[in-house]
């Protein structure tokens, strides 16, 4: 009977109680996955000044703003014929 109750219980996601906020800062690895590139490909874009980074003053780790990644995608869209 417990299994039947679980099957009929709506999930939190279905109720709209999940976290609607999207992550803003991505690690280099996450940013590379987001754009479908390798980590070295992302480093090259960063070194070329194409994509800016967020780097806390006292930390070595860099982060990528998802809004910058989205701008990169929009700026590089084209129609292929």
Record the tokens describing residue 25, joined without a space: 């800062």
| Residue the block writes with tokens 């980590």 | 39
pTM for this model (two decimals): 0.70
- Cβ atoms of residues 51 and 45 within 8 Å: yes
Domain boundaries in the chain? 22-81
Residue pLDDT tens, the chain, 81 long: 555 555 555 555 556 566 567 899 999 999 999 999 999 999 999 999 999 999 999 989 999 999 999 999 999 999 988
Query: Which sign does the torsion angle of CA 3, 5, 8, 13 carry?
Result: negative
Which residues neighbour 42 within 8 Å (Cβ) at sequence distance 6 or greater? 28, 31, 32, 35, 51, 64
Q: Which of 25, 71, 23 is nearest to 45 (CA)?
A: 71
The CATH number that domain 22-81 falls under is 1.10.10
């Amino acid at each position: 009977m417990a299994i039947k109750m679980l099957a009929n219980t709506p999930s939190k996601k279905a109720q709209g109680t999940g976290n609607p906020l999207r992550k803003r800062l991505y690690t280099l690895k996450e940013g590379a996955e987001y754009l479908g590139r390798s980590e070295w490909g992302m480093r090259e874009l960063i070194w070329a000044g194409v994509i800016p980074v967020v780097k806390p003053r006292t930390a070595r780790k860099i982060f990528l703003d998802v809004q910058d990644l989205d701008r990169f995608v929009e700026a590089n869209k084209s129609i292929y014929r």
